[in-house]
Amino acid sequence: MAKKKNLPLSKMPKLLWELHNKMVLIRRFEESTIKSYQQKKIGGFLHAYIGQEAVGVGVLAHKKPEDSVVTSYRCHGLGLALGISPEACMAEVFGKVTGIVRGKGGSMHFFDKERNLLGGHGIVGGQFGIGIGAAFASNYKKQNAVSFIFFGEGAVPQGTFHENMNMASLMNLPVVFICEDNKYAMGTENVRILANTSISEAAAFYKIKGYAMDGMNLSEIHDQMGDIVEEVRKTKRPALIHLKTYRYKGHSVSDAAKYRTKEEEEKWKEDDPLFKSADLLVSEGYKTREEVEAEDKKTKDYIKEIVKLAESSPDPPLEELTQHVYFDKREGERWQ
């Protein structure tokens, strides 16, 4: 592996600045959606990515345009990390026709064809097969794309995780399995659902490589993932990454998170990925504390703008109700 040519993030001021601000964008976006949800301007389920920003941003820094990404319902962060228009993302969460999937999917179902974001899926573990399918298609078409499958540690006990690891290994599919272990699956701590919480050890049986990583540190994630993604792309051998992270909020907005202590939450907040990357920017002398804060302020203002835009955007027209059920024209259909 051409390890030498991969510079560490700390030595790439432009990228570090960009990735840091992506994390800030996600953080502010999510804070805003929670507020709007509490104001009942957003409905359904809303799962914030706050606390986990380093994972999505750090991993997807290595995504090439032809690569694919798939994840669970906790998908805003990855959508934004991929560079989908925040306006369209916000509009989607507000259920507007200007949303990325025309208000039909909502918060849990972000998709983007340009960037090969294959969802946003609501069923725990439902995304694994889709992810390996994208890798299969890349091999089929003799392209060189990698498929990133993000999932919570709560999906590890679902059989589908194992089926797809076996399949990806057998078929030599270029897949990166990324377990975002935020310690909880709803109200259940990982130790109560997994016979083994060292999730990267699951790789061994499938004869693929497993890696454990701190999920709260952007530059570490970025640096380690660079090599791994490169190797997967070259060897077409899947890899499993276990990232320990934490969601600062409840499972969804309606969860008061009483199953954990305030102390625990505080401990993890000391480890905030945004603080760390801000510190790095300052300590390396790339930016002043003021510049960092000014940019954050800009982001906050921008989010306010796009909330206003989303609120004033049109709902999907009623004609859309029965559109997009089938792609092909149907003759003689008859039902109600």
Partner 1 sequence: MAVITVREALNQAINEEMARDENVFIIGEEVAEYNGAYKISEGLLDKYGKRRVVDTPISESSFTGLSIGAAMSGLRPIVEYMSFNFSLVAMDQIISNIAKMYYMTGGMYNIPIVLRGCNGAAAQVSSQHSHNMESFFAHMPGLNVISCSDAADSKGLLKAAIRSNDPVIFLENEMLYGTSGEVPDEEYVIPIGKGRLVRSGDDVTIIAHSRMMIYAKEAAAELEKMGIQVDLIDPRTLKPLDYPLISESVKKTNRVVIVEEGHYWCGIGSQIAEFIYRDLFDYLDSQIIRVAQSENPMPYAKGLEAASLPSTKKIIEAVQQVTYTGAPS
Ligand X SMILES: Cc1ncc(C[n+]2csc(CCOP(=O)(O)OP(=O)(O)O)c2C)c(N)n1
Query: How many C-beta atoms lie closer than 10 Å to residue 99's C-beta?
Result: 25
Rounded Cα distance, 224 and 18, in Å = 18
Q: Based on the shown chain and the rule CB under 8 A, indicate whether residue 207 belongs to the binding site for partner 1.
A: no
Answer yes or no whether residue 185 interacts with Mg ion by CB under 5 A.
Answer: yes
Residue 193 binds what, of ligand X, Mg ion, partner 1, none (CB under 5 to 8 Å, by partner type)? Answer: partner 1
How do the residues of the chain divide into helix, strand and coil, expressed in percent and rounded to 5? 45, 10, 40
Site for partner 1 in 100-119 (CB under 8 A): 100-109, 111-113, 116, 118-119
d(CA 85, CA 261): 36
Q: Are residues 178 and 55 in contact, defined by beta-carbon separation less than 8 angstroms?
A: yes
Answer with the entry of a second copy, partner 1, ligand X, none that 70 interacts with (C-beta below 5 to 8 A by kind): partner 1
Q: Nearer to partner 1 by C-beta: 22 or 183?
A: 183
- Quick note: the x/- pattern for ligand X over 60-99, rule CB under 6 A, is ------------x-x-------------------------
Q: In whole angstroms, what is the distance from residue 241 CA to residue 200 CA?
A: 6
Q: Of the candidates 8, 26, 35, which has an alpha carbon nearest to the alpha carbon of residue 226?
A: 8
SS3 labels along 214-246: ECCCHHHHHHHHHHHHHHHHHHCCCEEEEEECC
Q: Which stretch binds a second copy (CB under 8 A): 165-173, 248-256, 278-286, 307-315?
A: 165-173
Q: Is the dihedral of CA 213, 217, 223, 225 positive or negative?
A: positive
Mode of pairing for the β-strands spanning 184-185 and 175-181: unpaired
With binding defined as CB under 6 A, does residue 242 bind ligand X?
no
In the list 77, 154, 210, 238, the residue contacting ligand X (rule: CB under 6 A) is 154
From the list partner 1, ligand X, Mg ion, none, which binds 170 (C-beta under 5 to 8 Å, kind-based)? partner 1
Q: Which stretch binds Mg ion (CB under 5 A): 113-121, 153-161, 200-208, 223-231?
A: 153-161
Task: Determine whether 200 is exposed, middle or buried from the number of CB atoms within 10 Å of its CB (0-12, 13-18, 19+).
Answer: buried
Residue 123 interface partner, choices ligand X, Mg ion, a second copy, none, CB cut-off 5-8 Å depending on type: ligand X
Binding site for a second copy (CB under 8 A): 157-163, 165-167, 169-170, 192-196, 201-202, 204-208
Binding site for ligand X (CB under 6 A): 72, 74, 122-124, 152-155, 182, 184-186, 251
